[in-house]
Amino acid sequence: MCGIFACHCHPDVQKFKPTALKLAKAIRHRGPDWSGNVISHNTILCHERLSIVGVESGAQPLTNADDTIILAVNGEIYNHRQIRKHLKEPYHFKTQSDCEVIIPLYMEHDIDAPNSLDGMFSFVLYDKKQDRTIAARDPIGVTTLYQGWSWKEPGAVYFASELKCLSPVCDKIIAFPPGHVYDSKTGETTRYFKPTWWDPANVPSTPVDYKTLRTSLEKAVRKRLMAEVPYGVLLSGGLDSSLVASIAQREMLRLKKKAEESTGTATPAEADVDHGEGLVGVDDDDNLSTVTYLPQLNSFSIGLPGSPDNEAALKVAKFLGTKHHVMTFTIEDGLNALSDVIYHLETYDVTTIRASTPMFLLSRKIKAMGIKMVLSGEGSDEIFGGYLYFHAAPDKKAFHEETVRRIKNLHLADCLRANKSTSAWGLEARVPFLDKKFIETAMSIDPQDKMITKDRMEKYILRKAFDTSDEPGTAPYLPDSILWRQKEQFSDGVGYGWIDALKDNAELHVTDEMMKNPKAEWGTDIPDTKEAYWYRLMFDEHFPPRCASTVERWTPTWSKQTDPSGRAISTHNAKYEGTE
């Protein structure tokens, strides 16, 4: 995952350049491999690069042949080869970077260019001839992007991958909306992403097709194996990450067999981490690009000693045959990291911080082992109504409306967590469940099929799609004990003592008197628990009050609970009675 910072129409861009470079440096953790910047007219684009594809030639900002179009991108374009192949006009590519295709797309389609992209991305493009800046963000907001303005430079507009770049220079900051494109020519931000499921009032009625659902997710995972560097899978032992790991492992075994057949040699001996050897070209028609051949897929899990997730992850890894790495952390490790976590996350949402802390710690270990990219399972619960509070959905219309709402807010919650917890250490997370084609498939299913009943647990149709028990000759994707394991929120699964410790420590830092007298600058956004109050205080240490407008606090619908943990849901208590 890379980092971008840009300012369009600055009154004195040369004088501003040292400040711009300093602001860009604040997100160098996102792109430790190289830094670049370009100034043209009164616009500056800065880029901090993490090289995953086009490693040798993809330094940014990218430019066209005559340097009149300048581009800075954070993300991965999975269909870049197909785009190169189907351009209307010949274009001379300077690099092998997957992101460079955005330039000829803009030249052919103007601000409609993002419609052609399949991937996760945020970009800022400057057109020198028109003195025009275009900015866009991927459909769901897997990558982060912020936009800001300053009263000191009323004509200027700023963009950055993280809030910390803009807070020193902007007095108004927003989270750039996913699926939108900004055009400086008009000053307008418009929505380009218009899927069938966007209007929650349009409740689908198509029955589930299990084969189509399975095939769609498999394609989503395969295209995200596009890489020229070592990669792995995050494996919590829950359904979502386990399915992603299973599909990735099947693909790795297929590539391994293909490589052995083509060379007639056995695979290399195991190392502590398998970094891969050579590159395997995959057919473009299968929506894939270059894939690094890994002798064995690496998987990673984290938890407190004896945590449910680590135990389940080990079971999955053994079943799949991945090279598994277990990390345990102590409660003290987590508490010591909290301030850093909030600095990198740029939020004070309780659920996000709880779950991000172990992910933050794990990401550091993974990067230290030489891995630069991981697959993760975010998004499934929003699409299929997997959170336990969905048990209380009154009818299929309400169920569907809530899934739509959750997907639209992912960029402020789980996407933000996955992106920033990993990017803090120069690691990239890819999320197959948020593939736009997969979402289209899954959100076109009659929500009645997704609803939780006494005979159907949460995410039943996803589990059923990968249940091969009635398919003779088809190897199982997962053990039944994992395929049908009940949902645990990540912050619970790493060990129940983690949340208890957070609450206990909040009691030490926040008094009853403080709760009665919140800060005036918080306005109506008042923390309702001591834990939430504590996180808000730490957020305020890093960011001015105006940054709070970019934060949304996660709360379950159809529930009166003040604690967002899945453990607080009565369904969880009934299922796990006596285990806490």
Q: List the binding residues for ATP.
A: 234, 302, 376-377
The H or E element containing residue 340 is: helix 331-345
d(CA 428, CA 426): 7
Both tokens assigned to 413: 């919650």
Concatenate the DSSP letters of all residues of 63-116 into one string.
Answer: E-TTS-EEEEEEEEETTHHHHHHT-SS----S---GGGGHHHHHHHHGGGGGGG
Quote the crossing angle between the two packed helices 210-223 and 436-443, to the nearest 10°. Answer: 170
CA distances from 179 to 136, 198, 411, 437 (A): 7, 11, 11, 14
Which of helix, strand or coil describes residue 37?
strand
Concatenate the DSSP letters of all residues of 225-293 into one string.
Answer: TB-SS-EEEE--SSHHHHHHHHHHHHHHHHHHHHHHHHH--PPPPP-SS----SEE---GGGT---EE-
Measure the CA angle with vertex 122, ends 407 and 544; round to 5°. 80
d(CA 142, CA 383): 15
Q: What residues form DSSP beta bridges with 324?
A: 299
Q: What residues form DSSP beta bridges with 146?
A: 160, 175
Which of helix, strand or coil describes residue 215?
helix
Both tokens assigned to 306: 């004896």
Annotated binding residues for L-glutamine: 98
Indicate if 2 belongs to the active site.
yes
d(CA 325, CA 299): 6
The amino acid sitting at 291 is V
Concatenate the DSSP letters of all residues of 38-52 into one string.
Answer: EEETTEEEEEEE--S
d(CA 146, CA 7): 12
d(CA 337, CA 548): 21
Annotated binding residues: 98, 234, 302, 376-377
The H or E element containing residue 174 is: strand 172-175
CA distances from 497 to 88, 313, 433, 493, 532 (A): 58, 19, 29, 10, 18
Strands (E), 297-394: 298-303, 323-328, 373-375
Both tokens assigned to 59: 């330094």
CA distances from 468 to 314, 380, 438, 450 (A): 22, 20, 20, 19
d(CA 457, CA 318): 25
* Cβ atoms of residues 49 and 58 within 8 Å: yes
Radius of gyration for the chain, computed over Cα atoms and rounded to the nearest angstrom? 23
Among residues 2, 99, 415, 547, the one annotated as catalytic is 2
Question: Could you list the active site residues?
Answer: 2
